[in-house]
Amino acid sequence: MARKCLIEKSKKDPKYKTRQYNRCKLCGRRRAYFRRFQICRLCFRKLASKGEIPGVKKASW
């Protein structure tokens, strides 16, 4: 779980545009972020296994 101060800090506009980084909308994690869904891989896996993300299903072959 990300620290609250870092989550709040990332919401502010940075002094320079290159300092901006993405965070998961659910848990605030900075790494392993999927831009398309705006969540991290851990939250993505949890929601996908529950079937809460439309168009995503577990692969099986």
Token pair 């705006």: residue: 38
- Annotated binding residue at 27? yes
- Annotated binding residue at 5? no
Q: Residue 24: its pLDDT value, please?
A: 92
Token pair 């969540």: residue: 39
Residue 8 above 90 pLDDT?
A: no
Q: Residue 1: its pLDDT value, please?
A: 64
- How confident is the model over 9-55, as pLDDT tens digits? 888 888 998 888 899 999 989 999 999 999 999 999 999 999 899 98
Q: Is the dihedral of CA 10, 11, 17, 22 positive or negative?
A: positive
